[in-house]
Amino acid sequence: MNDHHHATTYVPKSAFAKWFESRLPIAGLIHSSFVAFPVPRNLNYFWTFGGVLFVMLVLQIVTGVILAMHYTPEATKAFDSVEHIMRNVNYGWLLRYLHANGASMFFVAVYIHIFRNLYYGSYKAPREVLYILGVIIYLLMMATAFLGYTLPWGQMSFWGATVITNILAAIPVVGDAIQSLLWGGYSVGNPTLNRFFSLHYLLPFMIVGVVILHVWALHVPGNNNPAGIDIQSGRDAVPFHPYMTVKDGFSLVVFLIFFAWWVFYMPNYLGHADNYIPANPAVTPAHIVPEWYFLPFYAILRAIPDKLGGVIAMFGSIVVLALVPWLDTSKVRSAVYRPIYKQFFWIWVVVCVILGWLGAKPAEGGYVIAARIATAYYFAHFLVIMPLIGFFEKPKPLPRSIVDSVLGPGASRIPVGAAAAPQAKG
Amino acid sequence: MADAVVSTAEPTRRDFLYLATTAAVGVGAAATVWPLVGAMAPDADTVAAGAPVELDLTPIAEGQIVKVFWRGKLIFVRHRTEAEIKAAQDVNLDALRDPQPDSARVKEGHADWLVVYGNCTHLGCVPLGNSGEYNGWFCPCHGSVFDTSGRIRQGPAPINLPIPPYTFVSDTKIRIGESGATA
Ligand code: HEM
Ligand code: FES
């Protein structure tokens, strides 16, 4: 079953399809990747967020391209052009609320997707490259969302841009040059806004490129699954269509309802009121807080009392994610069979949430101390706890096969034909 | 290796072409990247907008802080009171993170005027005047505290608020963006 070089089972029907397929076999590629592609039969709903993420990316691009038709990337006009979108452009309010809340929903989905990988050990061999491509997508998403948030040129846009570009200036030797190239001036200003818009338009398409590599790297070993064991026989797998297409579709609908609830009932809840005040370089808002999806990293940045140290810790907290395939020393993938790792995984999730909460609090007194402890624990989880658990933990016995894990031990000996095969019914 | 020596004329010419082409591509790539990156540096307008600005000090009352912009950067001009000057001078320099006597941060004979950049040296927020433990500035972003000389006293900012180039044209007028002979 691990034979990924299987010839496609796609059979072109019409004369045109035959003619085309022999010149560009793209229908066969799509068929073998998204129709006949075998997936483990035990995938749960955590495996539907890849599809959700793909739809969110497309939605951000579609709403973004239309917003860009009405938006003016010029420091004296940007704020007004966003208000123009909100008031004068047909459905402009909808496009903007979809785009702004869509960014948040994109991060909701990516966090679920990342936590899923860490719980079920999807980063382990042979999926390390697939996983690292995912971390790269996450970094590009963060850059894109940050750049987009500066575009309305409100107070939070301006001061967020100021704080983040100042963070980059802490990089030794090249920091000042990078800052000046990003600013295009001596401070955040019109040239900065112009280039941020250009880059905000560019990066999503780079994400599309990396997503293609990500899916390619996925289709070499195939999906991991809740049991964390490989497909051994045909009965461990089901074809992607209709099994996963239906599951993905259902999940997507539920997710879009959740998304719509924000868009239509509390479209500004996830934003900041200060961003409805035009940018003013002479006054900083009393409380600068990044968007919720950056809060844990912001807490880590502020926890370190040294400028460069804080920057290193913040970037380090993401770099360490990319090293997880080599920090986890256990041979067992899924936390379902790892009694100790499972507990530490949940402690780590709680620590991430606490960091997020601290990121929104003022950096003073007890909050700073708590942020330091949580930051230390965050790194200890990856650098100390993860490598050690692999040596000490006694995993639970693994099921003999995926079928066994679903239908109970011995199921792999039940004759074939027991499972339904809706895909065979045309 | 030995092969290369034996088969002479032809491969040598090819080797030359290969090396020459690689070198040309390398130089060409560098020559292309240069203007691409250069185009992101501050443009001529932005640089020209850095012409010095003059500021009349007469309307600024004692204890008042005025904000001006030069090159798009915020600058505080503070008319210090006797008490503020004294507080800035009576400081044990060893206790400072970025030790600098107050006399090095003002122009000689003009101790009542403090002119500093108005962005926190931590991450660039605008600190609030007349607040914080030393009644200098307090940065609301991450809690840096500056004294009445603009020196960092507490919090994450690494250095004092820098002094822009400026000069006294007369007793009541300064020109920012130009360090005169008295500097
Ligand atoms: C990865 C996909 C994307 C993400 C995560 C993203 C994120 C964001 C965010 C957070 C904002 C600020 C919204 C606000 O508070 O008003 C924004 C604004 C904007 N984005 Fe995007 N964006 C993406 C793709 C795109 C694309 C492909 C375009 C096409 C040009 C685009 C064009 C715009 C425009 C014109 C604005 C300013 C209007 C506004 O503020 O609503 N975006 N984006
Ligand atoms: S920007 Fe002033 S303390 Fe961070």
The predicted pLDDT at position A167 comes to 87
> Relative to the CA of A81, which ligand 1 atom is closest?
38
Average pLDDT over residues B107-134: 94
Within-domain flag for B126: yes
Within-domain flag for B94: yes
Within-domain flag for B74: yes
Q: Which residues contact A21 (CB under 8 A, 6 or more apart)?
A: A10, A12, A27, A28
Tally of structural domains, chain B? 2
- Domains of chain A by start residue, with CATH: 36-226+237-284 (1.20.810.10), 289-408 (1.10.287.980)
Residue A32 has pLDDT above 80, yes or no: yes
Q: Is A212 exposed, middle or buried (0-12, 13-18, 19+ CB in 10 A)?
A: exposed
Distance of alpha carbon A6 from alpha carbon A31, whole angstroms: 12
Name the nearest CA neighbour of A345 among A360, A361, A324, A366.
A324
Judge contact between B149 and B159, C-beta under 8 A: no
pLDDT in tens, A244-299: 999 999 999 999 999 999 999 999 999 999 999 999 999 999 888 899 999 999 99
Does residue B94 sit in the same domain as residue B170?
A: yes
Bridge-based pairing of strands B152-154 and A38-40 is unpaired
Residues A288, B140: C-beta atoms closer than 8 Å = yes
Residues A181, B41: C-beta atoms closer than 8 Å = yes
Does residue B35 sit in the same domain as residue B75?
A: no
Confidence of residue A306 (pLDDT cuts 50, 70, 90): confident
Residues A185, B46: C-beta atoms closer than 8 Å = yes
Which residues of B15-149 form beta strands (DSSP E)?
53-56, 65-70, 73-79, 113-117, 128-129, 137-138, 145-146
| Alpha-carbon Rg for chain B in angstroms | 27
Q: Give the H or E element holding residue A141.
A: helix A128-150
Bridge-based pairing of strands B73-79 and B113-117 is antiparallel
Residue whose CA lies nearest to ligand 2 atom number 3: B142
Distance of alpha carbon B76 from alpha carbon A321, whole angstroms: 43
Within-domain flag for B77: yes
Does residue B33 sit in the same domain as residue B102?
A: no
Task: Say which ligand is closest to the CA of A65.
Answer: 1
Does residue B97 sit in the same domain as residue B135?
A: yes
Within-domain flag for B182: no
Q: How far is the CA of A146 from the centre of ligand 2 (A)?
A: 19
Does residue B59 sit in the same domain as residue B40?
A: no
Residue whose CA lies nearest to ligand 1 atom number 43: A148
Residue A365 has pLDDT above 90, yes or no: no
Instruction: Give me the domain span that covers residue B39.
Output: 14-44
Does residue B23 sit in the same domain as residue B106?
A: no
Neighbour count for residue B70 (Cβ, 10 Å): 21
Mean pLDDT computed over every residue of chain B: 90
Distances (CA, A) of A82 to A68, A79, A153, A178, A283: 10, 5, 9, 29, 21
Query: Nearest by CB to A307, which of B119, B122, B140?
Result: B122
* Segment among A16-25, A291-300, A358-367 with least mean pLDDT: A358-367
Residue A342 has pLDDT above 70, yes or no: yes
Does residue B91 sit in the same domain as residue B168?
A: yes
Domain of residue B69, CATH code? 2.102.10.10
**Residue A365 vs residue B168, higher pLDDT:** B168
Within-domain flag for B54: yes
Nearest chain B residue (CA) to A159: B125
The total number of residues written for chain B in this structure? 183
Q: How far is the CA of A100 from the centre of ligand 1 (A)?
A: 7
Nearest chain B residue (CA) to A191: B42
Residues B119, A283: C-beta atoms closer than 8 Å = no
Does residue B168 sit in the same domain as residue B106?
A: yes
Does residue B153 sit in the same domain as residue B167?
A: yes
pLDDT in tens, A389-425: 999 999 999 999 999 999 888 776 665 544 555 555 4
Within-domain flag for B8: no
Distance of alpha carbon A121 from alpha carbon A341, whole angstroms: 11
ipTM of the complex: 0.85
Does residue B80 sit in the same domain as residue B27?
A: no
For ligand 1, is residue A152 a contact (CB within 6 Å)?
A: yes
Question: Best mutation site among A53, A57, A72, A99 for ligand 1, i.e. most ligand atoms within 8 A of its Cβ?
Answer: A99
For ligand 1, is residue A167 a contact (CB within 6 Å)?
A: no
Confidence of residue B178 (pLDDT cuts 50, 70, 90): confident
> Relative to the CA of B125, which ligand 2 atom is closest?
1
Residue B136 has pLDDT above 90, yes or no: yes
